[in-house]
Amino acid sequence: FVIAAAVSSLVLIARPYETTQEKIGVQKRDIMLCLDVSYSLYELNYELADYLEDVVTELKGDRFGITIFNTTSVVFVPLTDDYSYVVTRLEELKKYFMLQEEYEDMIGEGPYITFDTDEEWDAYYELDAELAYIEAGTLVNNQDRGSSLIGEGLASSLYSFPSLGDESRTRIIIFATDNADSARVPEIPDLEGASALCKKNDVTVFAIFPNENAYY
């Protein structure tokens, strides 16, 4: 009994403990905005970019990125927690969508582009040059490959996430498109295949479609 009492005393004096680790709070997210920048979507894209400016400024610890696509895809903003930089780039996108609207209003609905004065032609060439500068990366080989390659656009956004196998962060794609795929070549992958890849990599896609009465 004396030996048992002594051993018990030593155990109590040593204060044995067990360490456990628990996750608390909100899991941080990687959010990618993926925009189909076809001209039919300038109104929706402008509204979305404008709304997300306020959302981005409220983020804490989340990372935000932007990809844009038409025929080909461009990483417009790599994933970052520099929210002021993201807002600056969203402002640039808004200006681009305003230029798209101006272009659509300028050329009208006719099959041919025509103007009555040299001043109108000069304004058209200037606007066209501004748009071409922004769109250089999104219309590569568009005459051969077509436009709005939606599956490839979504897949490119997916693979813009670093370390897809890392489960420590929730991954989200906000995907805006009118689903008007005008590809002239087989997409690799197509929309169904890109969606399956997102599911396989545990990436949630929130798709945003414009008013179906106004578009396709």
Average pLDDT in the 112-127 region?
A: 92
% of the chain surpassing 90 pLDDT? 69
Q: What is the pTM of this model?
A: 0.82
Q: Is the pLDDT of residue 62 over 80?
A: yes
Q: At residue 146, what are phi and psi to the nearest 5 degrees?
A: 90, -160
Residue with tokens 């992958």: 189
Cα first-last separation, the chain = 88
Band (pLDDT 50/70/90 cuts) for residue 25 is: low
CB 101 within 8 A of CB 42: yes
Nearest to 55 by CA among 144, 174, 160: 174
- Nearest-5° Cα angle at 64, 168 to 99: 160
pLDDT of residue 216: 42
Could you give the CA distance from residue 185 to residue 12 in angstroms, rounded to a whole number?
75
For residue range 176-211, what is the model confidence (pLDDT) as tens digits? 999 888 899 999 999 999 999 999 999 999 999 887
Average pLDDT in the 107-136 region?
A: 89
Band (pLDDT 50/70/90 cuts) for residue 28 is: confident
Band (pLDDT 50/70/90 cuts) for residue 23 is: low
pLDDT of residue 113: 86
CB 150 within 8 A of CB 179: yes
Q: Is 25 left (phi over 0), alpha (psi -120 to 50) or beta?
A: left
Q: Is the pLDDT of residue 66 over 60?
A: yes
Q: Is the pLDDT of residue 213 over 70?
A: no
Q: Is the pLDDT of residue 16 over 90?
A: no
